Amino acid sequence: MLESFITAFIVYFVVIDPIGNAPIFLAVTQHLDRASKTRTALECSLVAFGIMLFFALCGTWILGYLSISITAFKIAGGIILLLVSLDMLSAKRQKRKKQGSDKATESAENVAVFPLAIPLLAGPAAITSVMVVSADLAGNAAQSMIGYGALGAVMATTAAILVLTGLAQNFIDTRIASVFSRVTAIILAALSVQYIIDGLLELRLVGIGG
């Protein structure tokens, strides 16, 4: 069970990428005071958690209603996550987020919901991951609770990182955050390839070496 928790935690932490999103959080909330930054960090993390928990609970039902198999979703999710990881490695994803954040800061009344909760934290990659991981852990109630617990732990960690970012904004080195984002991108790429391999194995399109 501990292994399942750690695996789910790593997947969620990588795709949500709270450290990589920390500089964007500062850019979006630059017009707020420290107290407001803290409140915004907590609120956006809570909203993102609610969105992803919804997909964790209802994602499988949605797939069934649309007649999409879990195997097909694993392969599709793996491909999507692989593309996201490649974007992260080339910094395209961060640039797109930053551009979207700049526009939203000028018009949105509540930046905690948009663009922070959606799509920075609960973006397509995170939603895809939570549905795939939930499907993997859907064997029994205990396994499912482990997945939900891992998601909650990651979102609590995300909230803490964003709160600390707001409090220590003068000491954040964007180069360190960029390096860490690249490292997490490599991990995400490996996990996404594993999703694809698992799906192909279930379809018996590839053999098991050994």
Q: Which pLDDT tens digit goes with each residue over 37-71?
A: 899 999 999 999 999 999 888 877 887 888 877 77
Q: Is the pLDDT of residue 163 over 80?
A: yes
Is 125 within 8 Å of 80 (Cβ atoms)?
Answer: yes
> Can you read off the two tokens belonging to residue 185?
């991108």
Instruction: Report the distance separating Cα 156 and Cα 136, nearest Å.
Output: 23
Instruction: Report the distance separating Cα 117 and Cα 195, nearest Å.
Output: 25
Is 27 within 8 Å of 98 (Cβ atoms)?
Answer: yes
CA angle 192, 112, 97 (to 5 degrees): 45
Q: Which positions ≥6 away from 97 have C-beta within 8 Å?
A: 21, 24, 115, 120
Instruction: Note the pLDDT of residue 76.
Output: 80
Instruction: Report the distance separating Cα 208 and Cα 197, nearest Å.
Output: 10
pLDDT tens-digit readout, 23-32: 778 877 877 8
Q: Of 18-27, 33-42, 93-102, 181-190, where does the model show the most confidence?
A: 33-42
Q: Is the pLDDT of residue 122 over 50?
A: yes
Q: Which residue has the higher pLDDT, 157 or 110?
A: 157
